[in-house]
A and B are shown apart, each in its own frame.
Chain A
């Protein structure tokens, strides 16, 4: 079928050719004929609709709507035609093959000299692709929204989880800003200090609760955190809090880090250790009472043993006195064990107090040797005393260290008969060394022997003991600002060394 309208009018042919080359589908209807039929359509309209010009001409435009006749846009078009106005609508239309296409339809009336509407011109654009793109965009937006919602939910869950942890922990937690204003506080904090949320949040820490947190030492530490990043670790506060009374609190505070960067937020964890301290104190009291009670009968046993030892008489069998000596040694050992247990307990709770004063180290060493003399049946102790140096020390505690080290030297060198003691000035310290020629200590054990209750397996097989003597000695030396260590070689012997700072006024 011939598509081109052949009109013998060159000017009109140019116009028709122009219409055919338009990207929009164009139709003209004749309003003067019944049912306003299409009298012209261009090529693009044929392409859009899939119908040929012959199938179109004479029909009303409504054929494009197929069965989909309930669209409100139809009435808009109808109204525009009746009232003779321009209209622009987007309407669902159907191609010849039944495929839907979105038609962007512009209708304009054509009037004659009498202002009668003679024709309508319909310009149509298939915007299905645009519509599809818009739909895709909308779908995309929708799925993004869903993803955001899921992420938000996950974050919320995470947040709830963290919040749950923060609210459940048995430690008061506070977050402060750079002005020490409380940004958040967990339930445990509010409960412990019997304060209301509203009286706490947004308030400066040092001002809340009548300044109950205005503790100078704490303030000093907290003020340093942001500029220096130095955390506050295990800071103990004993304070009489208004609502809850006297409490011992352990504080830890540090600057909060986000993605490896410090923020201007401080997290403070507050632990109430009042009860723990109380239990520790009761344990210490119990141990004190127990050791006191144990020592009373021990005193009697030791005293009576000594009384019997004094009554040496030719008529009494020598074996009797050998047994008395053994009894006496056991009493001393039992006494040492009780003292060591008590000392360990005191060290553990940080109550090992030293009564330091200026003392001459030579005197302490000589006194320790003298005290040990009766118990040393085999070993000779050689001490080359140095110049009289004064150290700032608790003489009884240092003596205890020496007795422990010398007794160990004897105990672990059963096949030798010599223990050498030296003391030397090393810088501002006095170094005391106790050397034995015994079994030695392997390098693995050398580091561990100063730990509480540590006993090397080798030693465990051969010798009895609790493994706390060296621990106590090392704690005492540490408490005196000195160091303690061992130099040892397997089978050749061990040298235990410790240092003590020289009493300053005695340095010449």
Chain B
């Protein structure tokens, strides 16, 4: 079964990289979103199985998005892995709202492992 994953990050190169990495896995179908303000409506229509979310984005931060998703009845159970370059105390608390966390630069094997573990839950 193919699992749908949406990646939201403000860097096109990161989006491209993760898309290549995950699509090599064959059983992942990957969509990307560079504009964080469009993410919520895309999740609503595309209903992904998992979201990879960057924290530090212009316009709308990953933290705000986490808050919106977790407080939305229909979206609150979405599986989310946060990806961020910084690991501050603030991020740690955000991490608690997410299902898992991976810091940039990440090991692609670790990323895939985390995604699979979370999807199997």
- Seen from chain A, the residues whose Cβ lies within 8 Å of a Cβ on chain B are 288, 291-292, 295-304, 306-307, 310, 331, 335, 342, 353-355, 396
CB distance from A103 to the nearest CB of B (A): 101
Residue B45 CB within 8 A of the other chain: no
Q: Which residue of A lies closest to B85 (CB)?
A: A295
Do A298 and B17 contact each other (CB < 8 Å), given the known contacts A292-B86, A396-B87?
A: no
Complex contacts, B13 vs chain A, CB 8 Å = 296-297, 300
CB distance from A298 to the nearest CB of B (A): 5
Complex contacts, B105 vs chain A, CB 8 Å = 295, 298-299, 301-303, 331, 335
Complex contacts, B56 vs chain A, CB 8 Å = 292
CB distance from B112 to the nearest CB of A (A): 11
Complex contacts, B11 vs chain A, CB 8 Å = 296
Q: Which residue of A lies closest to B91 (CB)?
A: A355
Complex contacts, B107 vs chain A, CB 8 Å = 302, 306
Q: Of the candidates B18, B20, B92, B106, which one forms a contact with A302 in the assembled complex, judged by CB atoms under 8 Å apart?
A: B106
Task: Give Cα A291–Cα B84 distance, bound, in whole angstroms.
Answer: 11
Task: Give Cα A354–Cα B88 distance, bound, in whole angstroms.
Answer: 9
6 contacts between A and B (CB under 8 A): A300-B17, A302-B107, A303-B17, A307-B24, A307-B108, A353-B88
Task: Give Cα A8–Cα B92 distance, bound, in whole angstroms.
Answer: 136
Are A303 and B88 interface neighbours, CB within 8 A?
no
8 closest Cβ contacts across the A-B interface? A295-B85, A353-B89, A299-B105, A302-B105, A303-B17, A299-B104, A292-B85, A355-B92
Q: Which residue of B lies closest to A343 (CB)?
A: B87
Which interface residue of A288, A306, A310 has the most chain B CB atoms within 10 A? A306
Are B108 and A296 interface neighbours, CB within 8 A?
no
Supplied contacts A299-B106, A306-B107, A331-B105, 17 more A-B pairs, CB within 8 Å:
A288-B88, A292-B56, A292-B85, A295-B104, A296-B13, A296-B85, A296-B104, A297-B13, A299-B85, A299-B105, A302-B106, A303-B105, A303-B106, A304-B17, A306-B108, A342-B86, A355-B89
Complex contacts, A297 vs chain B, CB 8 Å = 13
A interface SS class: helix
Interface string of B1-42 (1 = CB under 8 A from A): 000000000010110011011001000000000000000000
Residue B117 CB within 8 A of the other chain: no
Complex contacts, B24 vs chain A, CB 8 Å = 307, 310
Are A306 and B85 interface neighbours, CB within 8 A?
no
CB distance from A367 to the nearest CB of B (A): 12
Q: Which residue of A lies closest to B17 (CB)?
A: A303
Task: Give Cα A306–Cα B85 distance, bound, in whole angstroms.
Answer: 18
Do A306 and B104 contact each other (CB < 8 Å), given the known contacts A295-B85, A297-B13, A355-B89?
A: no
Are A288 and B20 interface neighbours, CB within 8 A?
no
CB distance from A295 to the nearest CB of B (A): 4
Complex contacts, B86 vs chain A, CB 8 Å = 288, 291-292, 342
CB distance from A285 to the nearest CB of B (A): 11
CB distance from B9 to the nearest CB of A (A): 9
Q: Which residue of A lies closest to B101 (CB)?
A: A396
Task: Give Cα A152–Cα B106 distance, bound, in whole angstroms.
Answer: 76
Complex contacts, A306 vs chain B, CB 8 Å = 107-109
CB distance from B86 to the nearest CB of A (A): 6
Are B21 and A303 interface neighbours, CB within 8 A?
yes
CB distance from A424 to the nearest CB of B (A): 29
Task: Give Cα A38–Cα B109 distance, bound, in whole angstroms.
Answer: 140
Q: Which residue of A lies closest to B110 (CB)?
A: A371
CB distance from B22 to the nearest CB of A (A): 11
Task: Give Cα A306–Cα B86 distance, bound, in whole angstroms.
Answer: 21
Q: Which residue of B lies closest to A297 (CB)?
A: B13
